[in-house]
Amino acid sequence: MAAKTGAQALDKIRVGIIGAGGNTKLHHIPKLQAIPGVEVVKIANRSEESAAKVCKELGVAQATGNWQDVISDPSLNAIVVGTWPYLHRTLVLEALQAGKHVLTEARLAMNASEAKEMYNASLRHPNLVTQVVPSPLTFEFDATIQAIVKQGTLGELLYIEVRALSNSFAEKDGAPLSWRTDQRYSGLNIGVLGIFFEPLQRWVGDAVAVQARAKTVVRLREDQETGELRSVHIPDHLDILADMAIGAQAHIVVSSVIGGVPGFSKGYVLYGKEGTLFLDLAAKKLYLTKKGAEGQREEVAIPEDKKEVWRVEEEFVAAIRKQGSIRRTTFEQGVRYMEFTEAVTRSIQSGCTVKLPLV
């Protein structure tokens, strides 16, 4: 039996959780519980014991080790998918078919094909709200950067530099295998690539062509469940050149094996004909240098009313109640960053430039 949705706004929203990882425990569960009229009713985790532990910790009534118990529960209106990407497609499609609104953890899917299938399913259920957890890296700066680009302060954009460096030296072979380094669970997602590319899409739009090189430094990792060594198929260093639709060329470096980085290790630089904008994520500072004032870098003050904060759960609930719409991140936006991610992998494998959107 599907939950009542559509034109009727829901005052009482009952939520089921599938996958109680770090983000789910830190953000989704407590922040949903803080919204009047929202109740987190049931949690499914990899085992009933682990689900029960989270239920006790966060005051949730029901625990299960079977995700189907959550999706099939007719009393629930909405599902939060907090698993690794390998289950996102299955859980989202099943939840939509059961008439549930869905908030899914990022990255959206294992690959672009899965992402498109999920997006198309969402279109077949226009009465249901679907949302992907957005990259929160640049929330505080997004509105200001978008305004600076739109106003033409930088002039025509020529070149964009993105650095996503761990600033730590490579681990030894045999280091623990995590879901981010295990293609069985993460698919074509590579490290923090998607998390860093998504904000760039917000500011300047999509890429139209990608050429990438990659290196796998830590080639063997220990499976923590079996103790066996596994070959790693996800690169830990990426070097990407992308042609952006706005006309600029972007150089993106993502690495978990580079230590002792001089200068900035995490951030963005947008170079235009009339100015350069530099976001240093480590320092949480935004700087602008204008043409004719080279060497006079000025910090850009971010007005309080322009500083966006994490409100993923509020936005999800407001959309269910017909009190707002999903801005960050829609399934359509998720498809676009998954296409970029897959284009990077295709370029690595072929040694060729890959055009976007994918065909």
Share of the chain above pLDDT 90, in %: 95
Q: Please say if the pLDDT value at position 354 is more than 50.
A: yes
pLDDT tens digits, one per residue of 325-344: 999 999 999 999 999 999 99
152 plus 109 within the same structural domain: no
174 plus 292 within the same structural domain: yes
Q: Residue 292: give its domain's CATH number.
A: 3.30.360.10
217 plus 257 within the same structural domain: yes
pLDDT tens digits, one per residue of 110-161: 999 999 999 999 999 999 999 999 999 999 999 999 999 999 999 999 999 9
**Domain count of the chain?**
2
Determine the pLDDT at residue 242.
Answer: 98
Closest listed residue to residue 186, CA positions, set 310, 342, 340: 342
172 plus 188 within the same structural domain: yes
Would residue 227 be called left, alpha or beta, if left means φ above 0 and alpha means ψ between -120 and 50 degrees?
left
Domain assignment of residue 82, yes or no: yes
Q: Please say if the pLDDT value at position 7 is more than 50.
A: no
Q: Please say if the pLDDT value at position 9 is more than 70.
A: no
Neighbours of 138 (CB within 10 A): 23
144 plus 123 within the same structural domain: no
Alpha helix segments (H runs only) across the chain: 22-23, 29-33, 48-58, 67-71, 88-97, 112-123, 139-151, 183-186, 193-204, 312-320, 331-350
Print the domain residue range for 105. 13-135+311-328
- Residue 347 burial by CB count (10 A; 0-12/13-18/19+): exposed, middle or buried? buried
Identify the three-state secondary structure at position 12. Answer: coil
Higher pLDDT, 11 or 189: 189
Domain assignment of residue 149, yes or no: yes
